[in-house]
Amino acid sequence: MYRRTLELRLEAEVTVFDHKCVKMSEGVYEISDGFEDDEPDAMKNTDIDGKLYANVRAFKPSPRDGVVSSDGVIGHHNSTERDQLQTSYSNMTKERDQLQTSYNTLTKERDQLQTSYNTLTKERDQLQTSYNTLTKERDQLQTERDFLSGRFTNLKQTCSEGWQKFDSSWYFLSTETKTWKKSREDCMERGADLVIINSDKEQEFLFKLNKGFWIGLTDSVTEGTLIWVDGTPLTNPRYWSPYQPDNGGDKPEEYGEEDCVHIHKEQSPRKSWNDLSCDSKLYWVCEKVV
């Protein structure tokens, strides 16, 4: 914009200058005529100026001869100014071209930067997504690690305190005797519960421990409804001794209520359960599922 204004101004100046030149040459011609008419006699051939004027008089220029032929000094001055303007104009044109080149280069650079910026923005977004995913994964792994570490600590305790493993569970056989309720409390303090028997294999394993002990089965809530310590009702398998459960021979007034179940070591492996008074003191077995 600025360049264009400058160009226009220069062109205007050159035009005005051209116009002035024409006017000036006309003026000179007219003045030399005037000298012929009005010059006092005293001026003639008396000094340098006079000689000059005389020369002017002697030369009869046509209006078309203009600056150069009518007055050498003025003509030279004007042509110098014109040359200077021409030079300025050339310089300006050159400068304009350089500016145009610079502008093109900068435009190109700006476009490249824009492209780079877009690429980087995209990359940043991808990295952000990756970061979010990794953060999520890290949190999951931390949770998993905490869970496993807890389990490991639990297992370490289990192993060091006389527990033994069978299938997918750990078992603890007590070395003292307690009521059913106290026995259960002991198991819970060890992070376990009284044993729940789920299979023939488990029943046989327990029978081989060769002791009479409490298992996690009771009908203390509702007489006749036997429930495991995890809340599931007794279905199958079941390994009752003959005539059991009998709730004390159905004579509570004589034998007391029998609401807690134990394994009787004198019976056969698959026929060894008996219900007994919960206040009896027996060994017990805790079970911890891995």
Q: Does 198 bind Ca ion (CB under 5 A)?
A: yes
Whose Cβ is closer to Ca ion: residue 105's or residue 225's? 225
Give me the helix-helix angle, 2-38 and 72-160, nearest 10°: 170
The four Cα atoms 173, 280, 263, 176 give a dihedral, to 10 degrees, of 20
Q: Does 186 bind Ca ion (CB under 5 A)?
A: no
The residue count for binding Ca ion (CB under 5 A) is 10
Q: Could you tell me which stretch among 41-49, 81-89, 215-223, 262-270 binds Ca ion (CB under 5 A)? A: 215-223
Residue selected from 92, 196, 209, 227 as contacting Ca ion according to rule CB under 5 A: 196
Q: Which residues pair with 268 in a beta bridge?
A: 271
Q: Does 261 bind Ca ion (CB under 5 A)?
A: no
Residue selected from 21, 207, 218, 258 as contacting Ca ion according to rule CB under 5 A: 258
Q: Does 179 bind Ca ion (CB under 5 A)?
A: no
Residue selected from 70, 213, 275, 283 as contacting Ca ion according to rule CB under 5 A: 275
Residue 269 phi/psi, 5-degree rounding, is: -50, -45
Residue selected from 187, 259, 261, 267 as contacting Ca ion according to rule CB under 5 A: 259
**Look-up: residue for tokens 């012929």?**
36
Q: Does 71 bind Ca ion (CB under 5 A)?
A: no
For residues 250 and 178, the answer to whether their CB atoms sit within 8 Å is no
For residues 218 and 278, the answer to whether their CB atoms sit within 8 Å is yes
Residue 275 phi/psi, 5-degree rounding, is: -90, 145
Q: Does 219 bind Ca ion (CB under 5 A)?
A: yes
At closest approach, how far in Å is the CB of 239 from Ca ion?
Answer: 13
Q: What is the distance between the alpha carbons of residues 91 and 78, in angstroms, rounded to a whole number? A: 20
Type of residue found at 77: H
What residues line the site for Ca ion (CB under 5 A)?
A: 196, 198, 219, 244, 246-247, 258-259, 274-275
